[in-house]
């Protein structure tokens, strides 16, 4: 793992890798007549609001596509197996740091760490859009569902930090800063945040009420607000208050 404060040139290298992967997916799924791979995580947020770039690439697919893509990446693109909690990652070394490709499947239970609730990836199948990322379209969760996945990421990240589960705590804290900044990128009304489906968000938060505290605490995340850079703290405070009052 590496600190999140990295050489910015790695962002464009990661975007090049994402472009290559999306082309591979498009060719394979077109040939097989299937559509079962989705982009989530930071690059999915970038597709809605290009303020923040990302490093790691997060994909949801089926086990067959995951296996084939991992084989392609390790045999032809200089990726190496990466051991994490799920054992389903690969990474590539670059002159500016490592790029990790994380894989999940729509059948993953996706429990919240330390809690019985879950937010399954199978919800993407009925709630996604095709959006260009650079020159290739990607299937990406609808904005509100992506927001929920990002809130889950903040919960899980905080749980790992509070329970000392990261080998590199600074790296984990840096990722949490980016997660909160991504949440701001999704809800910023000046960059598409008005498209949030308040009815759906309220419906989901009714069963995941603990996520409200993650939203409520965002105005205190000064580093994340600075990282996003498009909203001041007072604007964030008002935005969060208005959002929570409507859901």
Report the relative pairing of strands 38-40 and 57-61 from DSSP bridges.
Answer: antiparallel
- Tell whether 3 is covered by a domain: no
| Interval 15-29: pLDDT, tens | 999 999 999 999 999
Strand intervals (E) in the chain: 38-40, 57-61, 80-82, 89-94, 97-105, 128-133, 136-141
Tokens of 54: 């990302």
Token pair 């809690």 is found at: 115
Residue 140 lies in a domain: yes
In a domain, 1, yes or no: no
Query: What distance in Å separates the CA atoms of residue 144 and residue 129, rounded to the nearest whole number?
Result: 11
Q: What is the pLDDT of residues 155-182, one digit of tens each?
A: 999 999 999 999 899 999 999 999 999 9
Whether 2 maps to a domain, the answer reads no
For the record, the structure tokens of 179 come out as 């997660």
How many folded domains does the chain comprise?
1
Count the alpha carbons within 13 Å of 17 in the hemisphere toward its beta carbon. Answer: 29
| Sequence-ordered list of residues with C-beta below 8 angstroms from that of 66, at least 6 positions apart, any chain | 59, 88, 103, 105
pLDDT at res. 238: 98
Rounded (10°) CA dihedral 140, 142, 6, 157: -120
Q: Is residue 183 part of a domain?
A: yes
Q: Look at residue 67 and tell me if it is in a domain.
A: yes
What averages of pLDDT result for each successive group of 10 residues across the chain (247 residues)? 72 98 96 94 98 97 94 97 74 96 88 95 94 95 98 97 93 95 99 98 97 97 98 98 98
Kindly state whether residue 40 falls inside one of the protein's structural domains.
Answer: yes
Range of the domain at 36: 9-246
Identify whether 58 is part of a domain. yes
């Amino acid at each position: 793992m590496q600190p999140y404060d990295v050489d910015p040139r790695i962002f464009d290298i990661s975007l090049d890798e994402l472009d290559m992967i999306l082309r591979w997916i498009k060719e394979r799924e077109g040939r097989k007549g299937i559509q079962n791979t989705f982009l989530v995580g930071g690059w999915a947020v970038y597709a809605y609001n290009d303020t923040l770039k990302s490093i790691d690439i997060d994909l949801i697919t089926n086990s067959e596509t995951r296996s084939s893509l991992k084989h392609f990446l390790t045999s032809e693109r200089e990726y190496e197996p990466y051991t994490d909690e799920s054992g389903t990652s690969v990474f590539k070394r670059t002159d500016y740091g490592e790029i990790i490709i994380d894989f999940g499947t729509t059948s993953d239970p996706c429990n919240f760490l330390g809690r019985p609730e879950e937010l399954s990836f199978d919800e993407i199948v009925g709630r996604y859009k095709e959006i260009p990322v650079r020159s290739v379209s990607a299937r990406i969760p609808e904005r509100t569902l992506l927001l929920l996945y990002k809130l889950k990421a903040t919960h899980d990240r905080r749980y790992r930090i509070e329970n000392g589960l990261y080998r590199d705590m600074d790296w984990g804290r840096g990722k949490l800063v980016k997660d909160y900044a991504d949440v701001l990128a999704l809800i910023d009304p000046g960059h598409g945040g008005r498209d949030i489906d308040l009815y759906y968000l309220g419906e989901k938060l009714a069963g995941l009420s603990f996520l409200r505290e993650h939203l409520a605490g965002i105005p205190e995340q000064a580093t994340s607000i600075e990282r996003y850079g498009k909203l001041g703290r007072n604007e964030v405070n008002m935005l969060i208050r208005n959002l929570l009052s409507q859901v």
